[in-house]
Amino acid sequence: MTIGWIGAGRMGYEMAGRLARGGADVLVWNRTRAKAEPLAKLGATIADILPELAARDIVFCMVSTWDDVQQVMRAMLDRAKKVPRLVIECSSISLEGSTELRKMLAARGIEYLAAPVSGNAKVIKAGRLSFVCSGPKRAFDAALPYLKMIAPAASWVGEGELARIVKICHNVFLGVVTQSLAEVTVLAEKAGVPRHAFLDFMNQSVMGSTFTRYKTPAFVNLDFKVTFTPKLLRKDLDLGLDAGRRFEVPLPLASMTRDLVQTMIGNGMTEKDFSELLVLQARASGLQLKPENVEVEDGLA
């Protein structure tokens, strides 16, 4: 099978790279061609224009927004003689966008997997990404060998756009976990336990996750370089609460976390990483945080 890959941003680059290294026949397109070029060394071919990808069997898409998804899909498919059998869309788009894309592709006889991921660029590099997929089971089975080149874990959760709901649930959980970790980290610190010692234990305990480990450097050394902004987390919490309203599911911890993220934004903490929730929590506790300047692992090395 031949693969097309759209998008060589921070995450897309790493994902396509893993496919290429895995031996897949990958043709990559990126808006800024230069960014994709280093992938050639790993065995990928670089496309000049999007319509070249239309002749591929499977096309992956990993761009930024729903607007980008629409644009690249149209640019690839309009006037195409041959179309892919399957499109696998990995960007973080809404349920509504995903539904619309499914219709657009179905009209051209193309199967479609919604396939958002859990993890960031470092997680991909560390070989720890996971996919959550929905759409035709047969399409998932066909795609699985390629998904596995990119990520050790790929789950199929059902038909249609269910994977989008699951991704939202994942991000709601991520928000709550971060706030809870901020609460207990500040409590432990005020009781006399350095953050690095506390998190070292938590990470090794049954509660430790890839996530708690890779957030540890931020919590210990107060390096809040953006991975995900407070406003993006608020958006996902709002999508979760909106789903809660639609399906009549009360979400008390998600609601509370959403209000705390809003509080963070109201207090002007908008430009750094959402894990600045730790700082909000410390202020609420009368604690002036200081970087501990301890080298800690992020578990992704």
Q: Considering only residues 94-123, where is the footprint of its own copies by CB under 8 A?
A: 118-119, 123
Asked if 285 is part of the footprint of its own copies (rule: CB under 8 A), the reply reads yes
Shortest reach from residue 44's CB to its own copies, in Å: 26
In the bound state with its own copies, the residue whose beta carbon lies nearer, of 105 and 260, is 260
Cβ closest to its own copies, residue 65 vs residue 204: 204
Rounded Cα gap, residues 204 and 181, in angstroms: 14
Answer for which of 258, 273, 279, 296 binds its own copies (CB under 8 A) is 258
Rounded CA separation 112/139 (Å)? 8
Site residues for its own copies, 126-185, by CB under 8 A, read 128, 130, 132, 152-153, 155-158, 160, 162, 165-166, 169-170, 172-174, 176-177, 179-181, 183-185
- 39: its two tokens: 């992938």
List the one residue from 287, 289, 292, 298 that touches its own copies (CB under 8 A): 287
By CB under 8 A, which span of 2-10, 104-112, 193-201, 218-226 interacts with its own copies? 193-201
Report if residue 243 touches its own copies, rule: CB under 8 A.
Answer: yes
User: For residues 101 and 18, what is the distance between their CA atoms, to the nearest angstrom?
Assistant: 26
Residue 238 touches its own copies, criterion: CB under 8 A: yes
Please give the residues from 25 up to 44 whose contact with its own copies meets the rule CB under 8 A: none
Choose among 253, 245, 89, 126: nearest CA to 180: 253
Question: Residue 237 and residue 240: Cα distance in Å, rounded?
Answer: 5
Query: Which range of residues in 48-56, 65-73, 83-91, 211-219 is near its own copies by CB under 8 A?
Result: 211-219
Is 229 a binding residue for its own copies by CB under 8 A? The answer is: no
Strand partners, 130: 118, 153
Query: 210: Cβ–Cβ under 8 A, 6 or more apart, which residues?
Result: 119, 123, 128, 299, 300
Q: Which of 41, 192, 290, 301 binds its own copies (CB under 8 A)?
A: 192
195 contacts: CB under 8 Å, gap ≥ 6: 185, 188, 189, 219, 220, 292
Confirm or reject binding of residue 227 to its own copies (CB under 8 A): no
Q: How far apart are CA 74 and CA 80, in angstroms?
A: 10
Q: Binding residue for its own copies (CB under 8 A) from 42, 104, 265, 289?
A: 265
With vertex at residue 116, the alpha carbon angle to CA 139 and CA 259, rounded to the nearest 5 degrees, is 150
Binding segment for its own copies among 6-14, 42-50, 53-61, 201-209 (CB under 8 A)?
201-209
Tell me the closest approach of the beta carbon of residue 65 to its own copies, in angstroms. 20
Among 22, 253, 289, 298, binds its own copies (CB under 8 A): 253
Residues 149, 88, 31, CA angle at the centre, nearest 5°? 95
Of 55 and 193, the one with the shorter C-beta distance to its own copies is: 193
| CA 208/CA 196 separation, integer angstroms | 14
